Amino acid sequence: MSLSNQNILSLVDSCKQNNRESQQELYGLLYSYAYSITNRYATDDQEANALVNDSFLKLFKHISACKLENTTNMVNSFKAWFRKIIVNTCIDRYRSSKNIKLYDITTQYSLTDHNENGEDKLGYKEIIMAVKQLSPAYKTVFNLHVIEGLSHDEISKLLKISTGTSKSNLSKAREHLRTILERSMNFNKLYDATIRQRTG
């Protein structure tokens, strides 16, 4: 079953009554969506899945606060509501970690959350893989700023850091990500050249 305006309302109402079957169905329908978000913050699959499960636990705990009756597109509204829960779950994970200094990061690379295809999709995947190599602190703020579109002020409030600290580390963080991307591109060029020599 896929999500539609008709069945999302029924599922949410049923989940509000703690119906286990409806909770399992909603989990199955939204797992991939949740994982695609947590995977950007997580270090590996295990952590990404743990963040997914934590997000669903919070969703079911607070689902009574979800109001969909007066929205035109209930599926998108529900996903937007759930997305905030997922992002906050990822933020809570890193805020609870000890000795993590949080930095802000912006890059010259354009990165948006939509379904790309062809060369755009390849570039998107390469950037996501590069971001996953950043430290948890860099990765968290990168996602909040570049993908979620939060301002420095908003990030500082969420992560309890000053905007000054965020901005002062901008140059260093940008260079770190650029180095990862350039190293990856140079490796790919070397690999392609080697393949051409062997097949030429």
For the chain, the domains span 5-95, 118-199
The reported pLDDT for the residue numbered 173 is 63
Widest Cα–Cα separation across the chain: 66
The reported pLDDT for the residue numbered 189 is 53
Asked whether 51 and 90 are in contact (CB, 8 A), the reply is: yes
Q: What's 118-199's CATH class?
A: mainly alpha
Cα distances (angstroms) measured from residue 181 to each of 36, 125, 161: 21, 11, 27
State how far the Cα of 131 lies from the Cα of 90, in Å rounded to an integer: 15
- Residues in Cβ contact with 176 at an 8 Å cutoff, skipping those fewer than 6 apart: 134, 138
DSSP H helices in the chain: 5-16, 20-41, 45-62, 74-95, 118-132, 136-142, 152-159, 163-168, 170-199
Stretches in the chain below the pLDDT threshold 50: 98-122, 187, 190-191, 193-195, 199
- Residues in Cβ contact with 125 at an 8 Å cutoff, skipping those fewer than 6 apart: none
The reported pLDDT for the residue numbered 31 is 96
Q: Which residue has the tokens 């699959």?
A: 45
Asked whether 105 and 166 are in contact (CB, 8 A), the reply is: no
The reported pLDDT for the residue numbered 108 is 34
Q: In CATH terms, is domain 5-95 a member of 3.40.50.300?
A: no
Asked whether 31 and 49 are in contact (CB, 8 A), the reply is: no
